[in-house]
């Protein structure tokens, strides 16, 4: 049955749809949908009946999956923009109207610190080992994080040895899938039990890649690991796409490497939006805020918002 919540979620996931055209085609009074989207009104049954055939025309499906999509941000190389992408893609998605949870699966706790959370009392590792619920800390409206710190580093052996340890993150995420539109998992720079757990819990993974020769080395191992998880534990797991980060087009080596990426990884989606090298991104991490709150006019903010739009268009 079509409901107010399903309509709102459908509209949020399809930002390219014009609400005024939908209102006109379904004969709804002007701004009914705009008000519903901003939370100022609830669509009644008459509205929903009028909207139904129009939304179906634009791809609405009754069996529409209203659970969060879980995406791992992955690359076993460090310093390639995973954490920066998790934070700023996440924040950009909230600006497009989605509810977003970030999960810190790196014991360095960079994600948590970059969001202003130092030494979290409740953290992801307690959910994995002590069967507590995933701790959720609110950063801003519709933008939450499940934090970690160094304590996670000491948990790898215990998690490997626990019965079904690699499934525990997925189990803990499941009840939260009703609450969010996107759950982004920031992975560590290693193919360890934490990365495996993230891949097992995910619908898809997003690979960040810096166009440097060193960054391309070992990329095959990464794809091999994704294939293994898909074949052995999580047949749903897809590769969402490859995001080029810290790109400096003035460098010939970057231009050459991007050509090489397009030649060798052309069976994957490579996002047209590239994240340019931008000092404001580094500064924002030090200032412990996302790039939009740090400097909304910076190239970093522009690139991550454009990326979020491209990302949504493909979802």
| Residue ranges that bind ligand ADP, judged by CB under 6 A | 78-84, 110, 189, 245-246, 275, 277-278, 281-282, 285
Strands 69-74 and 182-186, by their bridges, are parallel
277 binding partner (options Mg ion, ligand ADP, none; Cβ < 5 to 8 Å by kind): ligand ADP
197 binding partner (options Mg ion, ligand ADP, none; Cβ < 5 to 8 Å by kind): none
> Min. distance of Cβ 210 from ligand ADP in angstroms?
9
Residue reference for tokens 């948590």:
112
> Min. distance of Cβ 241 from ligand ADP in angstroms?
16
Identity of the residue, 34 or 153, whose beta carbon is nearer to Mg ion in the bound complex: 153
* Cα–Cα nearest to 304, from 46, 18, 84: 84
> Min. distance of Cβ 276 from ligand ADP in angstroms?
6
> Min. distance of Cβ 273 from Mg ion in angstroms?
20
Identity of the residue, 32 or 83, whose beta carbon is nearer to ligand ADP in the bound complex: 83
Identity of the residue, 59 or 218, whose beta carbon is nearer to ligand ADP in the bound complex: 218
97 binding partner (options Mg ion, ligand ADP, none; Cβ < 5 to 8 Å by kind): none
Identity of the residue, 26 or 113, whose beta carbon is nearer to Mg ion in the bound complex: 113
72 binding partner (options ligand ADP, Mg ion, none; Cβ < 5 to 8 Å by kind): none
88 binding partner (options ligand ADP, Mg ion, none; Cβ < 5 to 8 Å by kind): none
What's the rounded Cα separation, in Å, for the pair 119 and 300?
28
Identity of the residue, 53 or 78, whose beta carbon is nearer to ligand ADP in the bound complex: 78
290 binding partner (options Mg ion, ligand ADP, none; Cβ < 5 to 8 Å by kind): none
Residue reference for tokens 């996107």:
182
> Min. distance of Cβ 83 from ligand ADP in angstroms?
3
> Min. distance of Cβ 179 from ligand ADP in angstroms?
25
> Min. distance of Cβ 93 from ligand ADP in angstroms?
17
Residues that bind Mg ion (CB under 5 A): 82-83, 110
The residue at minimum Cβ distance from Mg ion is 83
Please spell the DSSP secondary structure of the chain, one letter per residue: ---HHHHHHHHHH-TTS-HHHHHHHHTPPTTHHHHHHTTS----HHHHHHHHHHHHHTT--TT---SPEEEEEE-SSSSSSHHHHHHHHHHHHHHTT--EEEEE--TT-HHHHHTT--S-SS-HHHHHHS-PPPP-EEEETTEEEE---GGGGGGHHHHHHSTTGGGHHHHHHGGGGGT-SEEEEE--SSSSHHHHHHHHH-SEEEEEE-SSHHHHTTHHHHHHHHHHHHHHT-TT-EEEEEEE-SB-TTSHHHHHHHHHHHHHSTTS-B-S---B--HHHHHHHHTTS-HHHH-TTSHHHHHHHHHHHHHHHT-
155 binding partner (options ligand ADP, Mg ion, none; Cβ < 5 to 8 Å by kind): none
Identity of the residue, 90 or 177, whose beta carbon is nearer to Mg ion in the bound complex: 90
């Amino acid at each position: 049955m079509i409901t107010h919540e399903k309509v709102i979620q459908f509209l949020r996931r399809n930002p390219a749809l014009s609400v005024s055209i939908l209102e006109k085609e379904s004969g709804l009074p002007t701004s009914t949908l705009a008000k519903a989207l901003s939370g100022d009104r609830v669509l009644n049954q008459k509205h929903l009946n009028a909207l139904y055939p129009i939304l179906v025309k634009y791809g609405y499906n009754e069996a529409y999956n209203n659970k969060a999509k879980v995406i791992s941000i992955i690359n076993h190389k460090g310093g390639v923009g995973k954490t920066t992408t998790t934070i700023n893609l996440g924040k950009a998605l909230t600006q497009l109207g989605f509810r977003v949870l970030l999960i810190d699966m790196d014991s360095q706790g960079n994600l948590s610190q970059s969001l202003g959370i130092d030494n979290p009392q409740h953290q992801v590792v307690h959910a994995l080992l002590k069967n507590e619920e995933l701790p959720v800390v609110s950063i801003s409206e519709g933008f939450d994080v499940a934090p970690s710190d160094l304590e996670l580093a000491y948990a790898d052996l215990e998690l490997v040895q626990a019965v079904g340890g690699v499934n525990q993150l997925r189990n803990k995420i499941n009840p939260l899938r009703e609450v969010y539109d996107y759950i982004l998992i920031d992975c560590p720079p290693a193919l360890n039990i934490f990365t495996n757990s993230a891949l097992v819990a995910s619908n898809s993974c997003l690979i960040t890649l810096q166009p440097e020769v060193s960054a391309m080395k070992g990329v095959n191992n990464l794809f091999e690991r994704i294939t293994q998880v898909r074949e052995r534990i999580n047949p749903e797991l897809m590769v969402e796409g490859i995001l080029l980060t810290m790109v400096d087009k003035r460098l010939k080596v970057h231009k050459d490497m991007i050509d090489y990426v397009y030649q060798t990884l052309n069976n994957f989606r490579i996002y047209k939006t590239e994240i340019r090298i931008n000092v404001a991104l580094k500064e924002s991490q030090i200032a412990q805020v996302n790039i939009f709150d740090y400097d909304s006019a910076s190239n970093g903010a522009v690139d991550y918002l454009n990326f979020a739009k491209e990302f949504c268009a493909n979802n």
